[in-house]
Structure 1
């Protein structure tokens, strides 16, 4: 592999890290933030689920920006916006500022999401599956870094100050934005896509989005409500350990996928298998406790990571390179819209009923409902 290709893959990896680090810091800091600002269960969960909503709502404007500015320029703007808004969360109270900054941060990540597949399709001909697996490995290791290392490593270094912790995690992303500013990405001479043209395009986009949403729902929802669930069964002291291994399992699974992705992408069997594994892991985590529940969390995290990579990497395989950004934007809009709505509904049910296990049930039901959709999935390439 040439040095230029290695440098490109490294830049994609570091960019991928910041698709998730700012989001997954929130579950680890939720007890401190919720206690200081007086947030209820739904409010604490929204620290994680609100960015997920923005990943859905911002995907279509993100596709428009990519068409208007070019993929690299849109990505630079999005990374810088994400970093500054993520750091601004530490300026709260008031709580409204916390949620506003969280929403802006989520919008920045929402633009990053379709920009990266569009860049991969153009920059990495002949090794798109490898490039997607690399930046997705960065993304999923970013989940581990944010959720798994915040409590045991970063918080002691910042004197247990959650505001400073947010700053430490956020501002290094500005370095990534700087590295992405090389002027070789001219805005295309085409009309930027509209929401109607994205959502009314290839009908497989809806299927891809719903399947991606099932994996994202189980992952983000479990992270969001893990503290409440563990506390309800007397295991609050296991939060740091469970977050650590749950999110590390995603990074480890994505690392395994780097060499395997070219052989597994655009095939129904691996997607269906990981969907079944995710539902099984979620059920086991709900009903077991202690180390058995930890093993179930690792199974859940690994399965959702692999399923997510398989779906994102399939997009450049089923549509022409010029359509990858819009197809991905629609897929992310549908998937992350579901990943916001389903856990939020579960959280509201839990708050009303005072039953902390309820948020998990809608997520598991959704995971089961998409299995027949996976079994009928068409991964053939569309002709331009």
Structure 2
């Protein structure tokens, strides 16, 4: 294999690419809504459509990976993200903003089982480290997209931000094609019916779902809570939500503590999420940066743990692809309703603060499940090892 550090770097960049263009949408939603005349419900539906596509492509992604090979799937879908981002500029924009967002999210979804296979294939001796690099790249993609877009849009407008992030995605696709190991083989045949009966898959899905519900509901509506504040403050809040909140997590790859299977870890993350979402629901705009940090840290901590679980609990490449497909498919599909529900609450109450109620519910469920699910996962792994 090529120099390991280079392959790790490309894994991080590709993971970054899976979320950057999607999360870059959130800070410019108020401008898009104003120019295109969307209702709050339709605006929430734009975010929900992206989340739904992140789920819908995962199981088909196992078929595409078996057909094209895992590495080639990553190359093509990375390019697809860039192309779809640019498609959002086409007229009529009311249609193409939705269609392009759906297509780029679908591209990001199709690749997820292939990456789980490549992690096990390329990093069999350092699965924990590779899983942490991958999840960190995804988090940083959301961070860069959400925190930098207010400044990019201030200079070139929200349409120009689509061009900037689309060009970056195409560049990452080219680098991946040039710099990663050329040898490729198909994603192993995945028996989805067997995966659906796998209790470990559903246990991980439960954790993944509720941190998504809490995060996406809050992130989609923060710009509306902060309407009228200067771009620097909006960027600060999103930086606290998506970047500063994950800085404490950078030490996780160096720890020997198995945080990904720790009930205490998920309980703590759930409580942080509840605290942050409650403050936002109370309309504490001047403290939005601190509340966003709490919510971001809680959701990011649960996200890193649940993202690390599929390769860790899998018994083979086939198992890794199957568990990943189930987790991402149902984890995103079950949580896509959060932004739409939040938008419906805002339309009904005419209070933006009510948009954060679903995030409070997500945090509560995360805390409750955090006590139960990791113990079940550990017991399941022990039973499998003894068999």
Asked if TM exceeds 0.5, the reply is yes
Cα distance in 2 for partners of 1:64, 1:83 equals 22
TM-score (ref. length: structure 1): 0.90
Cα distance in 1 for partners of 2:44, 2:69 equals 34
Cα distance in 2 for partners of 1:50, 1:261 equals 38
Task: Give the drift of 1:314.
Answer: 1.6
2:216 to 214, 220, 233: 220
Q: Find out whether 1:270 has 2:270 as its counterpart.
A: no
Question: 1:345 corresponds to which residue?
Answer: 341
Gaps of 5+ in 2: none
Cα distance in 1 for partners of 2:134, 2:91 equals 32
Check whether the contact 1:49–1:221 (CA below 8 A) recurs between aligned residues.
no
Task: Give the drift of 1:201.
Answer: 3.0
Question: 1:177 corresponds to which residue?
Answer: 173
What do the CA deviations read for 1:47-78 (whole angstroms, capped 9, x no partner)?
33221110111111112222333321222222
Task: Give the drift of 1:258.
Answer: 3.4
Check whether the contact 1:65–1:192 (CA below 8 A) recurs between aligned residues.
no
Task: Give the drift of 1:288.
Answer: 5.4
Q: Find out whether 1:94 has 2:93 as its counterpart.
A: yes
Task: Give the drift of 1:332.
Answer: 0.9
Check whether the contact 1:58–1:110 (CA below 8 A) recurs between aligned residues.
yes
In the comparison of the two structures, how many residue pairs are matched? 375
Cα distance in 2 for partners of 1:266, 1:119 equals 22
Aligned ranges 1:143-292 → 2 under 5 Å: 143-152=142-151, 154-156=152-154, 159-181=155-177, 182-188=181-187, 191-194=189-192, 196-198=193-195, 200-231=196-227, 238-260=233-255, 263-287=258-282, 289-292=284-287
Check whether the contact 1:64–1:193 (CA below 8 A) recurs between aligned residues.
no
Cα distance in 1 for partners of 2:281, 2:226 equals 10
Check whether the contact 2:65–2:114 (CA below 8 A) recurs between aligned residues.
yes
Cα distance in 2 for partners of 1:225, 1:260 equals 35
Gaps of 5+ in 1: none
TM-score (ref. length: structure 2): 0.89
Question: 2:22 corresponds to which residue?
Answer: 23
Which SS does the other structure have where 1:376 is aligned?
Answer: helix
Task: Give the drift of 1:87.
Answer: 1.6
Name the CA shift for 1:95/1:298 in 2 (closer, same or farther; >3 Å).
Answer: same
Aligned ranges 1:119-130 → 2 under 5 Å: 119-130=118-129
Which SS does the other structure have where 2:360 is aligned?
Answer: helix
Task: Give the drift of 1:302.
Answer: 1.3
Cα distance in 2 for partners of 1:53, 1:15 equals 21
Task: Give the drift of 1:40.
Answer: 1.4
Give me the CA root mean square deviation.
2.3
Q: Find out whether 1:84 has 2:80 as its counterpart.
A: no
What do the CA deviations read for 1:56-112 (whole angstroms, capped 9, x no partner)?
111111122223333212222221111110121122433112111111111001122
Question: 1:325 corresponds to which residue?
Answer: 321
What do the CA deviations read for 1:220-273 (whole angstroms, capped 9, x no partner)?
211111122233xx7576433312322223442442333237642322221222
Name the CA shift for 1:287/1:265 in 2 (closer, same or farther; >3 Å).
Answer: same
Which SS does the other structure have where 2:76 is aligned?
Answer: helix
Task: Give the drift of 1:34.
Answer: 1.4
Cα distance in 1 for partners of 2:340, 2:12 equals 30
